[in-house]
Structure 1
Amino acid sequence: MHAVAATARWTAAARAKESRREDAIFTDPYADQLAGLEGTTLFARYDNPGVGEFISIRTRYLDDLIRRHAGLGQVVLLAAGMDTRSVRLPWPPGAVLYEVDQADLLEEKDKRLAELGARHACDRRAVGADLTGDWPAALREAGWDPAAPTLWVAEGLLFYLPEPAARLLLERIAGAAAPGSVLAGDLLSHQSMISEFSREGLRRLTEDGCPWLFGTDEPEEFLSGCGWRVTELRMPGEEGASYGRWPWNPPLPREAKGFPQNFLFVAANDRPL
């Protein structure tokens, strides 16, 4: 399996760690089995201060966001990996969830979930496609309606792409999405790419074949340039993006230089009706 796909395993291990807490901010009963020994080992390798906490915060933040917007009827998870929201979140009647990722990874997850007796709580459709290829065609073949509003989720994805590829992906989504669509996800700051506090983690990721490739200190400008207007932006530890997990209080101000930072965003597609 491609090295970047292994990130799906160690983020599952992070979800498993959160789920074992008595005060867990979400519960993923399948994460431990989906992570396996490989995911648990990798997570231990990467779990520097703030890493596991951010994954927990990001998971809960996007859980809540999906609950709020699932009424759109169509949700697309880009690079869905070992995501389990189809089986652990409540879904409104008629909701269709499309999970886009490498076919072999989705097949492996399906097999493991079936062995665990997991049942999807929505109409969940696996879409095996390369996000650098013609994934919109694969989505349409799976039943996605380009004329209907869609919630698009890019979680833990964009910083693994070179900036031109990240821009192209978001521009293609903006061009394909119907008016009223919503985009949500996370971005890494450029400071995270150059901070001395990130150096060791970046080295390990590069050694393992899944380096971070892109970060921006101006997420609103970046997303606007890709056709999306930011309607909400949070940094971990801020109100609405803490859940009692962020280890530093107060969180660093956005203008602080030399420190790793992440952004959680929600954006609107302003194409005319």
Structure 2
Amino acid sequence: MTAHWIAVARAAETLRADPLFLDSLAVEFVARTDPVLLADLRDNPTPRFDVLAVRTKFFDDFLSTAVRDGLRQVVIVAAGMDSRAYRLDLPAELRLFEIDLPDLQAGKEALLAELGLTNARCRRRAVAANMVGDWSARLRAAGFDPGERTAWLIEGFLYYLTDEQVEAVLDTVSRLSAEGSVLGLEHVNTDLYRAPWMQQWLADMRREGRPWQSGVDEPEAWLARHGFRSQVREPADLPEATGRRVPKTPPRPTPGAARTWLITAERAGEGPPGNRVADPRPKGTLR
């Protein structure tokens, strides 16, 4: 369901007169799964997907920068219908791993074959795995090299997990990241779960079987505990948000504001023991 929704958002952006990116795979996916909706998106452009479009462009730029800086190994976690292996300017020798559930991967591979998209711009490898299981073994078996610098992307995923599951994912990413690896990541803060205007939407998500379950209030400190130096932004901070319907938030640390964190980070060396934070859990997570 969530993979479908993100594909709809990217298709809607692609159909705009002033798109931030073009995602023809998303358009083809929606054409086959919900042609009535696709027709409506063509005829009635809507700003309701603006935040997702800004987020997508932010992480497109993150990966493009990592590749320009010489990284040749990318892992997209919970990839869904992601098409960056086909639409970004990537070198042919780059290895790009897409991890997601087996059923979703099978459906995506069938669609790619139907569309004749058998040759990505890089060495794309689909990894069928559950991210709350032992996914690292399957990633390694697909050819992932933990000794090589990696660009990780975790977009639109972590808030569906519990705090403990989020920690397990980040622990694994940290363990598999050579020094100089980079991470692009999205998460939310815990005040989001208390905002009055979010309650109906959160209730709807729970009823549909895809509840949001986690958040973090101090993302810089949280990622430092996992060995990453980070830079944190919010969607309204980005130049791509200009002219789009993207909610603005008050300056940090104003309490009570629902925030979406858009994060880029780099795997640092261990450094002196005294510089490391002992507490293994992010302060302010949901319980």
TM range (shorter): 0.7 to 0.9
Matched letter for residue 82 of structure 2: D
| Greater than 6 Å deviation, 4+ residue runs | none
Report percent identity of matched pairs. 35
1:21 aligned to 6, 16, 22, which one? 16
Map of 1:75 onto structure 2: 74
1:55 aligned counterpart, secondary structure: helix
Residues 185-264 of structure 1 aligned to structure 2 (within 5 Å): 185-230=185-230, 232-240=231-239, 242=241, 244-248=243-247, 251-264=249-262
Map of 2:120 onto structure 1: 120
Bigger-Rg structure (1/2): 2
**TM-score, structure 1 normalization:** 0.88
Alignment size in residue pairs:
260
Q: CA deviation at 1:38?
A: 9.8
Map of 2:283 onto structure 1: none
1:199 aligned counterpart, secondary structure: helix
Question: In structure 1, what is the Cα distance between the partners aligned to 2:189 and 2:8?
Answer: 24
Map of 2:279 onto structure 1: none
2:104 aligned counterpart, secondary structure: helix
Q: CA deviation at 1:39?
A: 11
Are the counterparts in 1 of residues 72 and 94 from structure 2 also a CA contact under 8 Å? yes
Map of 2:34 onto structure 1: 37
Matched letter for residue 17 of structure 2: E
Q: Using a 3 Å threshold, how does the CA distance of structure 1 residues 39 and 78 change in structure 2: closer, same or farther?
A: farther
Map of 1:160 onto structure 2: 160
Are the counterparts in 1 of residues 234 and 260 from structure 2 also a CA contact under 8 Å? yes
- Are 1:88 and 2:87 an aligned pair? yes
**TM-score, structure 2 normalization:** 0.84
Matched letter for residue 9 of structure 2: A
1:18 aligned counterpart, secondary structure: helix
Q: Using a 3 Å threshold, how does the CA distance of structure 1 residues 51 and 234 change in structure 2: closer, same or farther?
A: farther
1:146 aligned counterpart, secondary structure: coil
2:97 aligned counterpart, secondary structure: strand
1:56 aligned to 46, 53, 56, which one? 53
Question: In structure 2, what is the Cα distance between the partners aligned to 1:127 and 1:85?
Answer: 16
Are the counterparts in 2 of residues 237 and 246 from structure 1 also a CA contact under 8 Å? no
Q: CA deviation at 1:65?
A: 0.7
Are the counterparts in 1 of residues 235 and 260 from structure 2 also a CA contact under 8 Å? yes
Question: In structure 2, what is the Cα distance between the partners aligned to 1:99 and 1:13?
Answer: 19
Question: In structure 1, what is the Cα distance between the partners aligned to 2:242 and 2:90?
Answer: 22
Q: CA deviation at 1:51?
A: 5.8
Q: CA deviation at 1:241?
A: 5.5
1:178 aligned counterpart, secondary structure: coil
Are the counterparts in 2 of residues 98 and 127 from structure 1 also a CA contact under 8 Å? yes
Map of 1:3 onto structure 2: none
Are the counterparts in 1 of residues 92 and 121 from structure 2 also a CA contact under 8 Å? no
Bigger drift between 236-245 and 216-225 goes to 236-245
Residues 117-156 of structure 1 aligned to structure 2 (within 5 Å): 117-118=116-117, 119-156=119-156
Map of 2:276 onto structure 1: none
Q: CA deviation at 1:133?
A: 1.8
Q: CA deviation at 1:50?
A: 7.9
Deviations 1:156-190 (A, max 9, x none): 11111111110121011111211111111111111
1:197 aligned counterpart, secondary structure: helix
Question: In structure 2, what is the Cα distance between the partners aligned to 1:83 and 1:218?
Answer: 28
Q: CA deviation at 1:209?
A: 0.3
Structure 1 stretches lacking a partner, 5+ long: 1-5
Q: What is the CA RMSD across the aligned residues, in angstroms?
A: 2.3
Question: In structure 1, what is the Cα distance between the partners aligned to 2:239 and 2:148?
Answer: 29
Question: In structure 2, what is the Cα distance between the partners aligned to 1:39 and 1:271?
Answer: 51
Q: CA deviation at 1:22?
A: 0.5
Structure 2 stretches lacking a partner, 5+ long: 272-287
Question: In structure 2, what is the Cα distance between the partners aligned to 1:21 and 1:257?
Answer: 36
Question: In structure 2, what is the Cα distance between the partners aligned to 1:200 and 1:17?
Answer: 24
Question: In structure 2, what is the Cα distance between the partners aligned to 1:163 and 1:80?
Answer: 20
Bigger drift between 12-21 and 221-230 goes to 221-230
